């Protein structure tokens, strides 16, 4: 079978098409296509509360392109979800209806809790055993935090703090985040290990591995050093010296601030960075729905 997932985020929009098939007792997964386009919906929404007509037109064209790819690959089922920017946009309902009528794609705006639940599907394998874990997922418009104790999720919350949102809005949400974290962590959840997902922490991990190629995690100290280096560079220098994409170069610093802040409050000495995220959880949801739960194996990048 073939499945497609579309993740309409605040900083970028992603589509992945994967093939899935049964082999003995395993479900095999293989990535067939992956597209990421830096259509920054959050830039306008977090300032003006709406998505302008010019940006709507680009959005529509991108959805048409995705629909064409879905048709060409003869996809059996797809999911298209929108997160923080579309949750906040006052005109999101009319945009989604326009895309449904003109393109034929059905888009669902999901809550922060739904977003965390999708990601939980792929994070679960990393939080088994007797240890405690805090999972931090920083997007363009929101941050999802999940806390696990001995393999069981004991707390989950979504906060309006993100890499795009926090270039436009003050950091008052940190007080709310701190109170929630301290309340949960005071219930005997120590020591704790951190797991980070999201495009920005992925890039931090890439930078870290340039000096430590065998690393499986980033210590708080090393993370802080990378953050300080990023701060010292101008936006242009991040692009030319570190080879960051323009839509990554201007948001990676505020994203790092969120990860480091949560790690500091949680007293996490290091953070693991598995290469998974929302789209992967959406994909597993489709696989489980159509092929049942069970062991998964991946071929190439799934």
Tell me, yes or no, whether 212 lies in a domain: yes
pLDDT of residue 133: 96
Whether residue 118 lies inside any domain: the answer is no
Q: Indicate if 290 and 239 belong to the same structural domain.
A: no
For residues 103 and 205, state if they share a domain: no
Regarding whether 260 and 291 lie in a shared domain, the answer is no
pLDDT at 183 over 90: yes
Instruction: Kindly indicate the confidence band of residue 224, based on its pLDDT and cuts at 50, 70 and 90.
Output: very high
SS (H, E, C) 161-178: CCCCHHHHCCCCHHHHHH
CATH of the domain at 240: 3.30.420.150
pTM of the model as a whole = 0.90
Tell whether 145 and 231 lie within a shared domain: yes
Q: Does residue 284 form part of some domain?
A: yes
Q: Is the pLDDT of residue 219 over 90?
A: yes
77 in a domain, yes or no?
yes
Only one residue has tokens 């309409």, namely: 8
pLDDT exceeds 80 at position 166: no
Predicted confidence at residue 141, as pLDDT, reads: 92
Give residue 300's pLDDT.
47
253: pLDDT confidence band, cut at 50, 70 and 90?
A: very high
Would you list the DSSP string of the chain?
-EEEEEEE-SS-EEEEEEEEEEETTEEEEEEEEEEEE---HHHHHHHHSS--HHHHHHHHHHHHHHHHHHHHTT-SEEEEEE-HHHHH-TTHHHHHHHHHHHT----EE--HHHHHHHHHHHHGGGS-SS-EEEEEEE-SS-EEEEEEETTEEEEEEEES--TTHHHHS-STHHHHHHHHHHHHHTTT--S-EEEEESHHHHHHHHHHHHH-TT-SEEEHHHHHHHHHHHHHS-HHHHHHTS---HHHHTTHHHHHHHHHHHHHHHT-SEEE--S--HHHHHHHHHHHHHH-S-EEEEES--
Assign residue 17 the CATH number of its domain: 3.30.420.40
Do 166 and 53 lie in a common domain? no
Are 135 and 265 part of one and the same domain?
Answer: yes
Query: Is residue 88 in a domain?
Result: yes
Supply the pLDDT for residue 23. 85
Q: Do 220 and 185 fall within a single domain?
A: yes
Residue 40, pLDDT above cutoff 60: yes
Contact at 8 Å (CB) between 135 and 201?
A: no
Q: What angle do CA 104, 165, 179 make, to 5 degrees?
A: 120
Q: How many domains does the chain have?
A: 2
Whether the pLDDT of residue 57 is over 70: the answer is: yes
Among the listed residues 119, 136, 159, the one whose alpha carbon sits nearest the alpha carbon of residue 277: 119
Percentage, residues of the chain above pLDDT 90: 81
pLDDT tens figures, 78-132: 999 999 999 999 999 999 999 999 999 999 999 988 998 999 889 988 998 899 9
Question: Does residue 139 sit in the same domain as residue 208?
Answer: yes
Are both 287 and 219 inside the same structural domain? no
Q: Distances in Å between the alpha carbon of 102 and those of 59, 97, 230, 273?
A: 12, 9, 42, 39
Residues 256, 155, single domain; the answer is yes
Answer yes or no: is 267 within a domain. Answer: yes
Q: Report if residue 48 sits inside a domain.
A: yes
In the predicted model, is pLDDT for residue 153 greater than 70? yes
**Same domain? 135 vs 183:** yes
Residue 134 domain flag? yes
Residues 147, 43 within the same domain? no
Average pLDDT over residues 236-262: 95
Which of the pair, 191 or 298, is modelled with greater confidence? 191
How far is CA 10 from its chain centroid? 10
Strand partners, 149: 132, 152
Whether the per-residue pLDDT at 229 is higher than 90: the answer is yes
Q: What is the pLDDT of residue 298?
A: 54
The owner of tokens 């293989």 is 30
Q: Domain span at residue 258?
A: 126-272
């Amino acid at each position: 079978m073939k499945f497609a997932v579309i993740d309409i985020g605040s900083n970028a929009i992603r589509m992945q098409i994967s093939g899935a098939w049964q082999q003995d007792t395993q479900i095999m997964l293989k990535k067939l296509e992956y597209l990421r386009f830096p259509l920054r919906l959050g830039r306008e929404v977090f300032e003006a509360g709406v998505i302008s007509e010019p940006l709507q037109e680009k959005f529509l064209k991108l959805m048409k392109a995705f629909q064409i790819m879905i048709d060409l690959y003869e996809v059996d089922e797809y999911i298209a979800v929108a997160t923080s920017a579309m949750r906040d946009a006052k005109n999101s309902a009319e945009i989604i209806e326009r895309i449904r009528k003109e393109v034929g794609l059905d888009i669902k705006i999901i809550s922060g809790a739904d977003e965390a639940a999708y990601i939980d599907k792929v994070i679960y394998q990393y939080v088994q055993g007797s240890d405690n874990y805090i999972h931090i997922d920083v997007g363009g418009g929101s941050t999802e935090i999940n806390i696990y104790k001995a393999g069981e999720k004991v707390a989950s919350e979504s906060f309006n703090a993100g890499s795009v949102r926090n270039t436009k809005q003050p950091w008052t949400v940190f007080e709310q985040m701190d109170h929630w974290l301290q309340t949960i962590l005071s219930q005997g959840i120590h020591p704790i290990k951190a797991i980070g997902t999201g495009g920005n922490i992925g890039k931090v991990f890439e930078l870290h591995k340039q000096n430590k190629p065998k690393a499986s995690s980033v210590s708080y100290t090393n993370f802080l050093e990378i953050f300080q280096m990023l701060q010292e560079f101008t936006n242009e220098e991040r692009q030319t010296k570190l080879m960051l994409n323009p839509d990554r170069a201007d948001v990676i610093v505020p994203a790092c601030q969120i990860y480091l802040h949560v790690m500091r409050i949680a007293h996490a000495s290091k953070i693991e960075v598995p290469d998974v995220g929302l789209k992967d959880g959406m994909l597993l949801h489709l696989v489980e729905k159509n092929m049942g739960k069970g062991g998964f194996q991946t071929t190439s990048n799934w």
